[in-house]
Amino acid sequence: MHLTALQHKGVRSDPGHQPRRDRRRKVSGFYGDIAWGKSLSTGVVEDISRGGFRMTDLPVAQDRAGHHFCRVVLSGQGRYYRLLVTPCWEKATAEGGRVEVGFKILDSSWDWLELTRN
Number of structural domains the chain divides into = 1
Parent domain of 47:
24-112
pLDDT digits (tens, 9 = 90+) for 8-60: 444 554 445 556 566 788 999 999 999 887 888 999 999 999 999 999 999 88
pLDDT digits (tens, 9 = 90+) for 51-105: 999 999 998 865 566 668 889 999 998 999 999 999 999 998 887 789 999 999 9
Taking CA atoms, 56 is separated from 22, 33, 47, 98, 118, in Å, by 20, 12, 10, 8, 23
Give the CATH number of the domain where residue 95 resides: 2.40.10.220
Is 54 a member of any domain?
yes
Is 70 a member of any domain?
yes
Is 19 a member of any domain?
no
Is 71 a member of any domain?
yes
Is 118 a member of any domain?
no
d(C-alpha 103, C-alpha 86), whole Å: 6
Is 40 a member of any domain?
yes
Other residues' Cβ atoms within 10 Å of the Cβ of residue 51 = 15
